[in-house]
Amino acid sequence: MHLAMVKMAIVQPKKIHEVEVSGLTKYKKPYHYTYKYADLADVDKAIMDAIKNTKEDGKPLLTYYFDIDNGAEGVTVETIIVDATTGYSERTNKVWFNNLNIGDAQSTASLISYGKRYSLSAAFGIASEDDDDAQAQKMNQSQVVDENAIKIIFEDYVNNHSIKAKNWIKGKHDKATGDYIRQLLGDYELNHHLDKAKQKAVDCRKERDQQVKEAVKKIKKPKSEDEVIKDIVDKPKTDPFPDKKEDAPMSEGQQSLFGDILGD
């Protein structure tokens, strides 16, 4: 995230240097054009200014250095970016340039300087050269917002509640950057609202299902025929007139009368 914050703080260096290019195409037709560029010192200054402006507690967020291989056939340059807080390093893709003037120290030094500028510009998203193709130049100018860098910072704020990311988002930005941040915020709020609505619907459905289950439990099912017969057998009905029965013993007269009737 620190690299993203530094990249977003970079002010593109002005292209105050001019170079004239001429030669022959593969069809032997002459060509000639000029273009402006920011040299290595301009690019380095733009990056160092951004690092200074993003210091925390007086300490830089990151630093960088070059890994250069001046081989027999050409020069290879790679930029290594080091996070000052974690010590984590990130290497850029290697760039290789054919050295047509091996043995010429000045030409080789110029090629190395060009390789550094090219690698450093690519690592920090700096447009250090004008493009002679008008359409390509128009595309480069329109890409004023580093969307990936902004997304990294925004996701760190949303997922990790990073104070650094929050302060950066709430800070001052150019119009294009501010518009993109607002777009991300709008998308996040919409998705958050949809997620809440979806969860609410799920909770309501669960609650209704539970209510149905509770209602079903309270309903008494009618007994089957087998259950009714079993109740009759296992639980005979009690005498409805228990108080009408004569349980007292008969008197002698009653016994004599009972015997006469039966013919005792």
The string of pLDDT tens digits covering residues 16-54 is 888 787 777 777 788 787 878 888 899 999 999 988 988
Token pair recorded at residue 215: 């209602």
Domain ranges of the chain: 2-170
What whole-number distance in Å separates Cα of residue 91 and Cα of residue 78?
7
What whole-number distance in Å separates Cα of residue 132 and Cα of residue 231?
102
**DSSP 8-state secondary structure symbol assigned to residue 101:** T
Q: How many CA atoms lie within 13 A of 10 on its CB side?
A: 29
Segment 166-188 mean pLDDT: 76
Q: How confident is the model at residue 212 (pLDDT cuts 50, 70, 90)?
A: confident
Are 110 and 93 in contact by the 8 Å Cβ rule? The answer is no
Query: Radius of gyration (Cα) for the chain, nearest Å?
Result: 46
Burial class (CB in 10 A: 0-12, 13-18, 19+), 121: buried
Give the chain's largest Cα–Cα span.
159
State if pTM tops 0.85: no
What whole-number distance in Å separates Cα of residue 64 and Cα of residue 82?
6
Q: How confident is the model at residue 246 (pLDDT cuts 50, 70, 90)?
A: low
Segment 185-200 mean pLDDT: 69
Taking only the tens place, the pLDDT of each residue in 123-169 is 888 887 764 433 333 334 344 457 777 778 888 887 887 787 777 77
**Among 42, 48, 35, 41, CA closest to 129:** 35
Range of weakest confidence among 77-81, 107-111, 171-175: 171-175
pLDDT of residue 137: 38
Rounded to the nearest integer, the mean pLDDT of the chain is 76
- With a CB cutoff of 8 Å and minimum separation 6, the contacts of 159 are none
